[in-house]
């Protein structure tokens, strides 16, 4: 058996690729029972699918691709690098999860005459909508009533049906999961294959850095798919004997939305009444994968940092003025890097990489009076 999809809570394995949860209610996890072997990289394929052998549940002939992954690695300053995942087809790293998930499920879904349902406030909804369109699948994207702006337009232009739900973010997820005839919930947060697609970031970084990873890796963290996916990818490389040193993973959050930070540091967290942060892709105040995130970040000997609104805005502006137009949510990771430099937790000699997760055109921010950097 090359892989297994199992429940981390009750240990039951799931045979159905369309399941996003265990029957006990817990999220599922994929387990890989093979090594990463360099010779199996398709070196002349310049997308995530150069790693097709490492996603054994995807049939090579059934890949649904828009040219995602294999994003550039750029040297920003002496020891700081950016991984430009904002350059993915729909403008966010989520395309890694969507291409893997939709490639694996589109045939069985079509055989069942089904359509997909997903809940998202933005980037993941747009990404799933795009890959569903590419696969010729109908998609229903459940969004909070308050959602507006470029991401909502993007979802609609891809042809997905948008269902607005009033109330909290949890209510949106509930509605999306409500069973209806022929509806298959493939929520990006819960479905194990979406998360599994994200491990490609780790493979790419290892290849791009010549298999000698930097000391520090900064990731913005909300629902946890990026964090869990990246850790899993590095673990796989480590187990396969391809990397000696596991980089320090720094999970970056906003003060408003920082359940991971607080739990990790043993502090109590109070959810904000309303999220007003400019980092509007980071909204998971009560992420269903929090336990998994804490466990993985601890085992990986990682760390976590929170940043203030002003720090995010300054980081966003600073990057834009160097030519990097990214979502404020991605600037959270750069703000965290700068903060750790300032507090001397790290030094300029530490080699670091920041994953830039989303395109600046997705932001609702307008260049008004606040720009004075
Ligand atoms: Zn279970």
pLDDT in tens, 219-243: 999 999 999 999 999 999 999 999 9
**Distance between Cα 194 and ligand 1 center (Å):** 18
Q: What protein residues have CB closer than 5 angstroms to ion ligand 1?
A: 7, 9-10, 12, 22, 24, 26
Q: At what angle do helices 200-208 and 94-111 cross, to 10 degrees?
A: 140
**Distance between Cα 12 and ligand 1 center (Å):** 6
**Distance between Cα 28 and ligand 1 center (Å):** 8
User: What percent of the chain clears pLDDT 70, i.e. is strictly above it?
Assistant: 99
pLDDT in tens, 1-22: 799 999 988 999 987 888 888 9
**Distance between Cα 284 and ligand 1 center (Å):** 23
Give which of 277, 268, 106, 125 is closest to 187, Cα–Cα: 125
CA distance 267 to 251: 16
Listing DSSP states for 188-233 in one string gives: TTT-HHHHHHTTHHHHHHHHHTTT---SEEEEE-SSSHHHHHHHHH
Strand partners, 73: 83
**Distance between Cα 111 and ligand 1 center (Å):** 27
**Distance between Cα 9 and ligand 1 center (Å):** 5
- Residue of higher predicted confidence among 146 and 166: 166
Listing DSSP states for 120-171 in one string gives: -SSHHHHHHHHHHHHHT--EEEEEETT--SHHHHHHHHTTPEEEEE-S-HHH
Which conformational region is residue 194 in: left (phi greater than 0), alpha (psi within -120 to 50 degrees), or beta?
alpha
Residue 266 has a pLDDT of 98
CA distance 226 to 139: 23
**Distance between Cα 190 and ligand 1 center (Å):** 13
Given a contact cutoff of 8 angstroms between Cβ atoms, the answer to whether 98 and 369 are in contact is no
- Give the SS3 label for residue 91: coil
Average model confidence (pLDDT) for the chain?
A: 94
| 200-205 average pLDDT score | 98
Helix, strand, coil percent values for the chain (each to nearest 5): 40, 20, 45
Neighbours of 7 (CB within 10 A): 20
pLDDT at 121 > cutoff 90: no
Residue 170 has a pLDDT of 83
**Distance between Cα 19 and ligand 1 center (Å):** 12
Q: What is the pTM of this model?
A: 0.96
**Distance between Cα 27 and ligand 1 center (Å):** 8
| pLDDT band, very low/low/confident/very high, at 370 (cuts 50, 70, 90) | low
């Amino acid at each position: 058996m090359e892989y297994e999809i199992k429940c981390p809570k009750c240990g039951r394995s799931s045979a159905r690729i369309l399941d996003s949860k265990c029957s006990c209610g817990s999220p599922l996890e994929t387990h890989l029972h093979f090594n990463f072997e360099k010779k199996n990289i398709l070196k002349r394929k310049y997308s995530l699918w150069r790693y097709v052998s490492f996603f054994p549940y995807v049939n090579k002939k059934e890949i649904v691709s828009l040219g995602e992954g294999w994003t550039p690695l750029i040297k920003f300053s002496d020891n700081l690098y950016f991984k430009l995942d904002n350059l993915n087809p729909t403008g966010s790293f989520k395309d890694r999860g969507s291409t893997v998930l939709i490639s694996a499920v589109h045939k069985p879904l079509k055989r069942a005459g089904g359509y997909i349902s997903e809940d998202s406030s933005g980037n993941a909804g747009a990404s799933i909508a795009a890959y569903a369109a590419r696969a010729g699948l109908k998609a229903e994207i459940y969004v909070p009533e308050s959602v507006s702006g470029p991401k909502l337009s993007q979802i609609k232009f891809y042809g997905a049906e948008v269902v607005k739900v009033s109330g909290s973010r949890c209510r949106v997820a509930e509605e999306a999961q409500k069973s209806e005839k022929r509806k298959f919930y493939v929520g990006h947060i819960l479905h194990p294959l979406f998360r599994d697609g994200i491990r490609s970031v780790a493979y790419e970084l290892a290849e791009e850095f010549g298999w000698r990873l930097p000391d520090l890796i900064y990731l913005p963290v909300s629902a946890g798919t990026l964090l869990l996916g990246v850790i899993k990818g590095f673990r796989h490389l480590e187990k396969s004997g391809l990397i000696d040193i596991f980089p320090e993973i720094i999970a970056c959050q906003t003060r408003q939305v920082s359940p991971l930070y607080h739990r990790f540091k043993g502090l109590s967290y109070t959810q904000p009444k309303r999220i007003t942060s400019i980092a509007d892709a980071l909204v998971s105040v009560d992420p269903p994968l929090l336990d998994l995130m804490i466990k993985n970040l601890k085992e990986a000997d990682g760390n976590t940092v929170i940043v203030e609104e002003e720090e995010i805005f300054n980081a966003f502006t600073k990057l834009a003025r160097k030519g990097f137009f990214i979502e404020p949510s991605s600037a959270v990771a750069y703000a965290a890097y700068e903060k750790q430099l300032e507090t001397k937790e790290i030094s300029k000699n530490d080699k670091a990489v920041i994953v830039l997760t989303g395109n600046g055109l997705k932001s609702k921010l307008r260049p008004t009076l606040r720009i004075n950097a």
